[in-house]
Amino acid sequence: MNELPLSECLKKLDHDMVTELTRMASPLIRYRTGDIGYVEKSRCSCGVTLDRLILRGRAGDQVRIGEKTYGPYYLEQFLLEIPEVGNWYQFLPQGDQLLIRLEANHGSEDRDRLARAIASRFEFSTGIKATVEFVDSIPRTGGKTIRVIQPAA
How do residues 66-85 score in pLDDT, each as one tens digit? 888 887 877 888 888 888 88
Distance separating alpha carbons of residues 50 and 72, to the nearest angstrom? 28
Q: Quote the pTM value.
A: 0.66
- For position 10, what pLDDT does the model report? 46
| Percent of the chain clearing pLDDT 90 (strictly above) | 7
Residues of the chain with CATH 3.30.300.30: 63-134
> pLDDT grade, residue 120 (50/70/90)?
very high
Report the pLDDT averaged over residues 104-115: 80
Question: Is residue 127 pLDDT above 80, yes or no?
Answer: yes
| Percent of the chain clearing pLDDT 70 (strictly above) | 80
- For position 109, what pLDDT does the model report? 73
CATH of domain 63-134: 3.30.300.30
Question: Is residue 55 pLDDT above 60, yes or no?
Answer: yes
Distance separating alpha carbons of residues 21 and 28, to the nearest angstrom? 7
